[in-house]
Structures are given as C-alpha cells and as structure tokens.
Structure 1
C-alpha cells in the first residue's frame, strides 16, 4: 500500500472492496453497497471477538464503508524509527518495511466473506391518506395524475 493509494480486490460475486489509509492509525474499507458493508462489518465483529484483530480499538460502520481505527503504531518489533509514523515507515536496510496497518490492509483484501443472504422481514403496513396540499405538486413531479400517486407510492417497499 503506497501513500494515498488503496488496495482493491474483487470478490467472487464481482463486488469490489477498496482499503484506504485514513490517518496514521486507521483504514477505511469501501464496499459496493450497504448490504456488503453490513456483511463486512459483521465479519469484522466476529473476528475481533475471536481475537483476530488485536489492537483495533474501533470498528465504525457507514453506509458503504467500515472504518477500523486504533491500529497499533505500525512500526514492526525490532525496527528502530520514529514512533507515530503510522503506515509510512522509514526505509530499513534499503527496503520498505510493512507495518501493522499495511499487513492488516492486505489481510482485509484477502478475506472471502460468506455469500450475502437477504433477510426477509414481516411487512409493516402504515395506513396513509393521500390528501395533503402537496399531492398535486408530487403528481406533477412524477409526471402522473394525482389519482395515480397512491398506487405508485404504495407499490414501493421501504
């Protein structure tokens, strides 16, 4: 992982995962959509519970992202160098030394997540009356008559 660039991987289902540095001690994982982000977040929580993500203090889900914060300093054991350097460690012996954040980024890209399963929920029906003062305006925006708005609106699952 180079400064400012993220790693990218494509899953078996064709979805892309990008891992980007986010400050000196964090990674931002970008996923295809909210469903994939939710599945990735759940997997992170499972693995942290098993002790597989030592040092990661916070796992913060977003709409299409998951932030992992509090990744340890990043300087591998036995390497002399300034602390607080995050993923950008000085050269050591002529080669760049991978940090904890670098290794975690590569590991995240290699994960094979279980296939997404759509959850079925019982429908909740909310009685609605379509007689508001903006009904004609909504109909005009949708390009339909006011009498068609209830049917169009009620066929959409939210």
Structure 2
C-alpha cells in the first residue's frame, strides 16, 4: 500500500487491486475517523479527502496501513438485478465484432457475474467488471451526443447502465427501467463499489 499526498486536503492510497480498494473504502467509512470528508474508491486507488483544520494528513497517512480491513461483505449480499430488454442499437455490431449471434451476445451478457468496480463519469454511473471476455469490444469510433437513460452498454472490459441521458461512446445492448440515480434515496446511487450486479432478460428482447 503506497500513500501519497494529493494536494493540501487529500491522500491518494495506491492499493494495487480492486478488492483492496473496496475493503479500504468500507473500513474508512466504518471507522468514521475525525476530519475525513469523503472517500472515493477507484480500481487500484482510494482518494481520501479531509479537512486539514480537523485532521493531520501525515498522521492519517501513518494510520491507514494499520487500519483493519473487513472481508468483502458486499460479495455476500444478493446481487442487484437489472431487468433488461435487449434491443440496443449496437447489438448487431457487437455480435459481428465478437463473432457471435445476437442471441449468443444476450446469453453471454446475462450470464456474466458483474461487480461495481467504481463510480464515475456521471452520478450513479457504475463501471462493472466481470464481462465475458468474448464481449470485450472497443468503444464506438464516434460517440453519441445523447444516450437514453437506462441504456445497458459495454465497452472494453466493462459493462454499465447509463443512469441519466448523456453523451457516450459505449455500445448499446439494451435498456432497463430500473432507476439507478434518485436524489430522494439514501444513498442516491443504487450501485456502490463492490455491489454485485446481474442482468436478466426481460420480455421484449428481439
């Protein structure tokens, strides 16, 4: 574990792997250490922001390596199910790139065991690891200016669901009515780092 200063009010912890990032994120949130403002896990890092007036960053940096890390509790929780109509605009193109039929693409995507690696790009947008390697196709050469809310997509080794209408270059496999981001919910994001996700085939798939 390598810890570096990130400006005057944050530490960047290089964990080396996704599982450790998730466990450190959970440990910091459970510990509720004085002065910590936010914890932002990434795939191989955790950014810890703090109030310098209430937290000595050097002391915090010295304390982090000794912080007990919990087991991956999220792995024991039931996965979030995402009912999906597989009728996306890029489904045929993904099938061609992967050398599969449309039906095989759907079957492989729905059979993948996903985990939220981290959140980014837009509120509630979870980068999902665990995509079947056969479906690792590149992003579109030309991004769309507007991807509809609820679009189920893939790009490279990741899967995702667009929580709101936004530009995007991921390849669209289908759509879901599941609400991923709701400001009236606590927390607003349905997906959290470490959450397991499973896509299910909904009626209407072509």
TM-score range, shorter chain: 0.5 to 0.7
State the SS of the aligned residue for 1:138: helix
> Aligned equivalents of 1:46 and 1:136: distance in 2?
45
- Following the alignment from structure 2 to structure 1, what is the Cα–Cα distance between the partners of residues 54 and 30? 23
The structure whose Rg is larger is 1
> Partners of 1:146 and 1:127 in 2: how far apart?
14
Residue 25 (structure 1) aligned with residue 25 (structure 2): no
Cα distance change, pair 134–65 in 1 and its aligned pair in 2 (3 A): same
* Unaligned segments of structure 2, at least 5 residues: 114-196, 198-206
Give the whole-Å Cα distance in 2 for the aligned partners of 1:149 and 1:46: 40
Give the CA deviation at 1:144.
1.8
Relative to the length of structure 1, the TM-score reads 0.54
* Structure-2 change in CA distance of 1:104 and 1:122 (3 Å): closer
Q: Report the structure, 1 or 2, having the larger helix content.
A: 1
Distance in structure 2 (CA, Å) of the matches to 1:73 and 1:122: 38
Which of these residues, 51, 58, 70, is aligned with residue 37 of structure 2? 58
Please, which of 64, 83, 88 is the counterpart of residue 126 of structure 1? 83
Report SS of the residue matched to 2:94. helix
Report the CA distance between 1:35 and its aligned residue.
Answer: 4.1
Q: Does 1:143 align with 2:122?
A: no
RMSD: 2.9
Flag the structure with higher strand content.
Answer: 2
Change (3 A) 1:145 1:21: same
